[in-house]
Amino acid sequence: MDVKVEEMLDRVAEICRSARALLFVTGAGISADSGLPTYRGMGGLYERHLTPEGLSIEQALSGATWAARPELTWKYLAEIEANCRGAEPNVAHRAMAELERRHPGTVVFTQNVDGLHRRAGSRNVIEIHGCLHRLRCVECGRSRQVPDFAGLALPPQCPACQGLVRPDVVLFGEALPDRALWDFERAWSRGFDMVFSVGTTSVFPYIAAPVIWARQSGICTVEINPGETCVSDRVDFRLKARAAEVMAGLMDRLQSS
Catalytic residue among 49, 103, 117, 129: 129
In degrees rounded to 5, what are phi and psi of residue 14?
Answer: -65, -45
117 is catalytic: no
H or E element in which residue 126 lies: strand 125-127
Q: Are 154 and 75 in contact (CB under 8 A)?
A: yes
Q: Are 197 and 240 in contact (CB under 8 A)?
A: no
The edge-to-edge listing of strands for the beta sheet with 130-137 is 143-145, 130-137, 165-169
Number of C-alpha atoms within 13 angstroms, CB side, residue 100? Answer: 20
Provide the 10 A C-beta neighbour count for residue 162. Answer: 11
Task: Please tell me the distance from the alpha carbon of residue 112 to that of residue 4, in angstroms, as a whole number.
Answer: 29
106-131 burial, b at 16+ Cβ within 10 Å, e below that, comes to bbbbbbbbbbbbbebebebbbbbbbb
Show which residues are catalytic: 129
